[in-house]
Amino acid sequence: MSRDGPAWPYPRWIAHRGAGRLAPENTLAAFALGHAYGYRMFECDVRLSADGQAFLLHDDRLERTTSGCGESLDFDWNTLSVLDAGAWHSARHAGERLPSLAAVVDFCRRQGCALNVELKPAPGDERRTGRVVAQQLARSWTWAPPPLLSSFAVAALEAAAGAAPDLPRALLLARFEGNWRATAQRLGCVAVVGERSAWTAAHAERARHAGLRLLAYTVNTDEDAQRLLALGLDGLITDRVDHFTPDALPA
């Protein structure tokens, strides 16, 4: 099987968690800064609160990037929404809040940006997260290109496929092992997103032969970027929004 078909509708360069490390990750401040550097596609981590609100946060626990303490899944959105999600990064970002997925969708709508939503469920919350996030995006995202849903959690991708089958999906891989191609195809994925050092020419060829697009995380050096572009990757997720010059959304 080849991957002949519609052109890939996303930019090659994708800003990791909004603006990489230059602003507090997964906040609207990070999205605004990434946009100021010219990025028009963003990656972010989305999970659910105890009462089912989709919001941005990478870790299962709150301590690293917020003023809260404990497992995020133990709290409702009213509690999570008032936490300080910026002071850990720098004083100038003190008071920045955790954004809801709805707020991020609104930002992308206003700025004409694309989005890669990593489904980042708390342990045991995989299916609810995939279903709720996919349903919300299917309702609220009304322009092209559609958001790309990715995850390491197979159950979350399965639930997303059942809830919103038309939204494109990608399988995240730290290593290319086991039956990764079969898993991606079973999930109806359009792409695989591999850890930057895991990509080899052989893996790239296998992915292409399976009809999959090729993306990598997290690409922060010129050497990695050059090697991966030479392999023909379609997307590079980076923290270095101040270093790599992004491309525009395809026409």
Collect all residues with Cβ–Cβ distance below 8 Å to 99 and sequence separation of at least 6.
26, 27, 28, 55, 56
Q: Is 16 a catalytic residue?
A: yes
Active site residue 243: no
Q: What is the maximum alpha-carbon separation in the chain?
A: 52
- DSSP letter at 61 equals B
Contacts of the segment 88-95: beta carbons below 8 A, 24+ positions apart: 88/24, 88/64, 89/23, 89/24, 89/25, 89/65, 90/24, 93/23, 93/24, 93/27, 93/29
Are 213 and 234 in contact by the 8 Å Cβ rule? The answer is yes
Catalytic sites, residue numbers: 16, 58
